[in-house]
Amino acid sequence: MSSSIITGAAGFIGSHLSEQLLELGENVVGIDNFDPWYDPKAKESNISSAMKHDSFSIFNENILSMDLSEILEPGDVIYHLAARPGVQDSWGSGFAASVENNVLATQKIFQAALTSGVRRVVFASSSSVYGASATNELKSVAPISPYGVSKAACEQLADVYRERGLDIIAMRYFTVYGPRQRPDMAMNRLFRAALPGTFRFPMRGNGSQRREFTFVKDIVGATIYAGNSNLQGVAEPFDVGGGVSASLGEVMSLVEEITGRSLRVDHEPSAAGDPLITVASTEFTEKTLNWKPTTGLREGLLEHYNSLRESVASST
Chain residues that interact with ligand NAD, rule: CB under 6 A: 7-8, 10-14, 31-35, 43, 62-64, 81-85, 101, 105, 124, 126, 173, 175-176, 182
Q: Which residue is nearest to ligand NAD (CB)?
A: 11
Which one, 96 or 267, has the nearer CB to ligand NAD? 96
Smallest distance from ligand NAD to CB 154, Å: 9
Smallest distance from ligand NAD to CB 65, Å: 8
Give the integer Cα–Cα distance in Å for 207 and 195.
Answer: 20
Give the integer Cα–Cα distance in Å for 171 and 119.
Answer: 17
| 108 CB burial (10 A radius; 0-12, 13-18, 19+) | middle
Smallest distance from ligand NAD to CB 122, Å: 11
Task: Give every CB contact of residue 277 below 8 A, 6+ residues apart in sequence.
Answer: 134, 135, 209, 210, 211
Residues 147, 161, 177, 225: which is the catalytic one?
147
Which one, 62 or 261, has the nearer CB to ligand NAD? 62
Smallest distance from ligand NAD to CB 217, Å: 13
Give the integer Cα–Cα distance in Å for 288 and 220.
Answer: 16
CB 4 within 8 A of CB 77: yes
Which one, 26 or 212, has the nearer CB to ligand NAD? 212
Which one, 261 or 274, has the nearer CB to ligand NAD? 274
Smallest distance from ligand NAD to CB 35, Å: 4
Which one, 126 or 295, has the nearer CB to ligand NAD? 126
CB 214 within 8 A of CB 242: yes
Task: Note if 38 is an active site residue.
Answer: no
Give the integer Cα–Cα distance in Å for 120 and 74.
Answer: 10
By C-alpha distance, which of 264, 267, 258, 251 is closest to 196?
264
Task: Indicate which residues carry an active-site annotation.
Answer: 147
